[in-house]
Amino acid sequence: MTAGTGAAVRIDVVSIFPTYFDGLTLSLLGKAQSTGILDLSVRDLRDWTSDRHRTVDDTPYGGGAGMVMKPEPWGLALDELTSTTPPHSGERPTIIFPSPAGEVFTQATARDLSTREHLIFGCGRYEGIDERVFEYASSLGEVRLLSLGDYVLNGGEVATMAMIEAIGRLIPGVVGNPESLVEESHEDGLLEYPSYTKPSMWRDRAVPDVLLSGNHKLIATWRRDQQLERTRTRRPDLLDDAS
């Protein structure tokens, strides 16, 4: 069944725009689904409505702009999806609500979540989801409100796609060469060093001599220096975090 050790990681996504997630069948994550490493299902929130118009939103108590997602479709969706959490180790599901009001999602978050057996992503739209849903979800699993960064998207779909890609590639067996995961930006708290390929001279621009030297120790030192220099100029906040 699985190509790696242990059972498949299960990821459920609930959204009113399930076709957003068609892209997840491509490339590495698509392969992981066909080899059984990843068990991904995308579900339409409207399937848990019972009125003729399949209504998922209503006006906010207290007034104000926009609409709020009604609690009951979310309650039913979470009941159903958590009732079938794979029982491998008795672990509770992790229920993620992407939200610009959440904690920032980082590589460390991705690493943590890649070790879970069952992730559920609830994609909010409009002005958000009735607050009681988060409280109720806490009775069913570990709830995380996660943001991609300090800007606003129209809903949780694009954020969920980004998070699933970041988490999914850390699941053992998803990325063919695990060495390639180690040398990337953010894995060691620094930005990645620059890369070059043939030709060694392109439009009057040369590849740095050291990379053609064959001296592996010198190359490693140069790459480390490049990482530090780039991080200092582009992302000094990362160096503050490391100290």
Give the separation between CA 115 and CA 178, rounded to whole angstroms: 15
Q: Which stretch binds ligand 6GU (CB under 6 A): 17-25, 112-120, 152-160, 165-173?
A: 152-160
Candidate residues 37, 81, 148, 174; the one interacting with ligand 6GU per rule CB under 6 A: 148
For 143: left if phi > 0, alpha if psi spans -120 to 50, otherwise beta; the answer is: beta
Told to check if 147 binds ligand 6GU by CB under 6 A, we report yes
Told to check if 122 binds ligand 6GU by CB under 6 A, we report no
Q: Kindly provide the residue ranges of all beta strands, DSSP E only, lying in 57-203, ordered along the sequence.
A: 57-58, 68-69, 94-104, 118-122, 142-147, 201-202
Q: What is the DSSP letter of 171?
A: S
Residue (10 or 125) nearer to ligand 6GU, CB: 125
User: In the bound complex, what is the minimum distance in angstroms from residue 152's beta carbon to ligand 6GU?
Assistant: 5
Q: Is the dihedral of CA 190, 149, 153, 161 positive or negative?
A: positive
Q: Which stretch binds ligand 6GU (CB under 6 A): 16-24, 83-91, 155-163, 192-200?
A: 155-163
Residue (73 or 122) nearer to ligand 6GU, CB: 122
173, 32 Cβ separation under 8 angstroms: yes
Told to check if 106 binds ligand 6GU by CB under 6 A, we report no
Residue (37 or 98) nearer to ligand 6GU, CB: 98
